[in-house]
Amino acid sequence: MHHLRYIATFAASALLWAATTAPATAADFPKGTFTLKGPDGDTWEVTVDGKVKFIVTRGGKEVVEGTYKVTKDEIEFTDEKGPVADKDAGPGTYTWKQDGDKVTFTKVKDKSEGRSGALTAGAWVRKKK
């Protein structure tokens, strides 16, 4: 009987460990639209589809479209098109943290100063539907 209790405890611990160490995916990043009031007074929005695509608008106009990839607490954005897309900079990598309806980004590496400045300017707040 003692062995069964040990095996059950071990199995439960292994499942808990696997659940907490499994790599995050794009589906783990909060899906939806997040807004931030920029220092220029314009409202920025980033919409993530919960799969691989994102769209950025500024003042209601689409300015960047691209793809993103999530691995654990890191997210990588790659600009593909749009008037302010920085395609030459390549992907930018950030850590992300969710606190309720807010998401914050911390730069890990990114050659795009514009993307980095916008993403790290403050907490992005989930837009209510």
Question: Percent of the chain scored above 90 by pLDDT?
Answer: 69
CB 83 within 8 A of CB 71: no
d(CA 62, CA 46): 10
- The pLDDT tens digits of the residues spanning 16-25 come to 333 334 445 5
User: What tokens does 96 get?
Assistant: 């992300």
pTM to 2 decimal places: 0.77
- The domain defined by 23-126 carries CATH number 2.40.128: yes
How many CB atoms neighbour CB 82 within 10 A? 18
**Domains of the chain by residue range:** 23-126
Percentage helix, strand, coil for the chain under 3-state DSSP, each rounded to 5: 25, 45, 30
- The pLDDT tens digits of the residues spanning 107-119 come to 999 999 999 999 9
| pLDDT tens-place values along the chain, 129 residues long | 443 333 333 333 333 333 334 445 555 788 999 999 987 789 999 999 989 999 999 999 999 999 999 999 999 999 999 999 999 999 999 999 999 999 999 999 999 999 999 999 999 999 987
